[in-house]
């Protein structure tokens, strides 16, 4: 997936799962980050993300999740086989802390992504409380707003290149075909 024109399409259910866990982490005492696995297919220049599954880490904190590499790799292989889909990468969340939220990958995020040879994608879901619906439409950012809670969501997808990591074009997909 090192093509220059690579794009990511998030099937509705996968996007809702990622936002659900971002919200759950935001609402936990201490506002914990969440981490999950992404499964789908690659068709042409599009990575179609059909499933997002929470990774149940032993330790979570505001600024990170401890990932046990051997058990994590076993888990993603098992799920890929069961779902009959390809493991595409990971998602993680950033939550608002003291009025600020990281909407891009940190240097630690980039280092971990590059070190994970099995991951081609890293999707970041940032969540924060806002006063009104945020504006914005971009081919590289998805935004959402939840009226009941006044939470704003920002979703970005990153892919690996020969020289590092770059922001990819992203779009909402339709419901997953049965």
Most confident of 53-57, 66-70, 113-117: 113-117
Tell me how crowded residue 90 is: count the other CB atoms within 10 A of its CB. Answer: 25
Q: Which residues contact 84 (CB under 8 A, 6 or more apart)?
A: none
Residue 122's pLDDT is what?
Answer: 93
Q: What predicted TM-score, i.e. pTM, was given to this entire model? A: 0.87
Q: Determine whether 138 is exposed, middle or buried from the number of CB atoms within 10 Å of its CB (0-12, 13-18, 19+).
A: exposed
Contacts of 163 (CB under 8 A, 6+ apart): none
Count of CB atoms situated within 10 Å of the CB of 165:
16
CB neighbour class for 128 (10 Å; exposed up to 12, middle 13-18, buried from 19): buried
pLDDT at 60: 45
Count how many Cα atoms sit within 13 Å of the Cα of residue 135 in the half-sphere of its side chain: 0
Whether residue 127 is predicted with pLDDT greater than 70 in this model: the reply is yes
**Which CATH architecture is the domain 7-172 placed in?**
3-Layer(aba) Sandwich (3.40)
β-pair partners for 52: 38
Write out the two tokens for 59.
């330790």
Give me the mean pLDDT over the 120-147 stretch: 86
Section 106-115 average pLDDT: 83
């Amino acid at each position: 997936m090192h093509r220059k024109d690579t794009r990511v399409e998030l099937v509705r259910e996968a996007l809702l799962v990622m936002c659900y866990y971002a919200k759950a982490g935001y609402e936990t005492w201490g506002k914990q980050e969440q981490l999950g696995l992404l499964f789908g297919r690659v068709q042409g220049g599009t990575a179609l993300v059909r499933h997002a599954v929470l990774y149940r880490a032993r330790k979570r904190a505001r600024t990170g999740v401890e990932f046990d590499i051997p058990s994590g790799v076993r888990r993603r292989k098992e799920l890929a086989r069961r779902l009959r889909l390809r493991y595409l990468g990971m998602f993680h969340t950033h939550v608002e802390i003291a009025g600020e939220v990281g909407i891009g990958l940190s240097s630690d995020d980039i280092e971990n992504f590059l070190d994970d040879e099995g991951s081609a994608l890293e999707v970041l879901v940032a969540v924060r409380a806002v006063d009104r619906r945020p504006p914005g439409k971009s081919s590289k950012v998805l935004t959402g707003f939840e009226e009941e809670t006044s939470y704003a969501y920002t979703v970005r997808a990153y892919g690996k290149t020969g020289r590092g990591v770059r922001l990819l074009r992203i779009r909402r997909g339709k419901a997953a075909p049965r």
